[in-house]
Amino acid sequence: MVESPPRRGGGDYATGVAFQVAAHTGWPSREVAAVLCERLVRELGIERAEVVGGGFVNVTLDAGARTELLRSLVAERESADRTGGPDGGAARSPGVRSAGLDAPGRDIPRWAALTGEDPAALAVRTERAGSLFRVQYAHARTCSLLRGAVRLGLAPEPAAAGAAFSGAAHPAPRRLLSLLADRARITAPGPLARHLDGVALAFADFHDACPPLPRGDEKPGAAHRARLALVEATGAVLAGGLSQLGVTAPAHI
């Protein structure tokens, strides 16, 4: 399995496949992992691969791969909007819009059934109290930031983001992008709801550490356009996931 590594380091993804190979071949897992790293770095889109711990392999994407990932996340959502859902509409509950009105009376029971959370707790609508509000608020925040960008004449630039986040000193953008990419492998409703909550938490960290819009007298620049690309991709993933779960993705809260 390939997933976001539990120990971040410099990697975007991690795999423990070396342990499986070692169990079948008798080779030490770290040696297997080292061989795997040598092969991975020859692959298009991979900037670095390194052995972590007893044999985990952490993989870091290059700028081009990050750019294409951001573009694909937004393109998938746009395609789903045109066709009525990722599976032609079957996954989307009737009346649920990708960026519709806030409907807590309908959404709370649905989310509680998926996650096992107390509906009464979910009704307390703060970021700390309930995961549903946290996810929906994160989506609404992405919409607000993109509206603000339009007013400032700023547009998301995936290519700039791919380069900027490849060498970003702060881990928040890369952590968020890794979680967005993980979305494709998570299809079961309960795990998907929990994953969206993780995305919302990572987005809040990113937003605080790397403001997507200029503040005060700050001039709009390439960094803001790069961060807006990540904002756009986050909104697409949250909207798509909420829609698949039959929950609204409000543009305003």
Q: Is the pLDDT of residue 192 over 90?
A: yes
Position 250 in a domain: no
The number of beta carbons lying within 10 Å of the beta carbon of residue 22 is 18
CATH number, residue 50: 3.30.1360.70
Instruction: Find all residues with CB under 8 Å of 164, minimum gap 6, and list them.
Output: 173, 222, 223, 226
- Count: domains in the chain: 2
Structural domain ending residue among the three candidates 61, 89, 106: 61
**Which sign does the torsion angle of CA 165, 167, 170, 175 carry?**
positive
The pLDDT of residue 101 is 76
Whether residue 170 sits in one domain with residue 89: yes
How far from 250 is each of 101, 104, 158, 165, CA to CA, in Å? 5, 10, 24, 28
Whether residue 34 sits in one domain with residue 115: no
Whole-number average pLDDT of the chain: 84
pTM: 0.79
How far is Cα 10 from Cα 25, in angstroms, rounded to an integer?
29
Whether residue 53 sits in one domain with residue 162: no
Whether residue 216 sits in one domain with residue 205: yes
Q: Is the pLDDT of residue 144 over 70?
A: yes
Position 137 in a domain: yes
Domain that includes residue 18, residue range: 2-61
The pLDDT of residue 202 is 95
Structural domain ending residue among the three candidates 61, 85, 112: 61
Whether residue 101 sits in one domain with residue 46: no
Whether residue 202 sits in one domain with residue 83: yes
Whether residue 83 sits in one domain with residue 40: no
Whether residue 119 sits in one domain with residue 45: no
List, for residues 205-245, the tens digit of each pLDDT value: 999 999 999 998 889 999 999 999 999 999 999 999 999 99
Position 249 in a domain: no
List, for residues 171-184, the tens digit of each pLDDT value: 888 889 889 988 88
Whether residue 69 sits in one domain with residue 8: no
Whether residue 8 sits in one domain with residue 82: no
Whether residue 35 sits in one domain with residue 95: no
The pLDDT of residue 80 is 59
Structural domain ending residue among the three candidates 12, 42, 61: 61
Whether residue 33 sits in one domain with residue 90: no
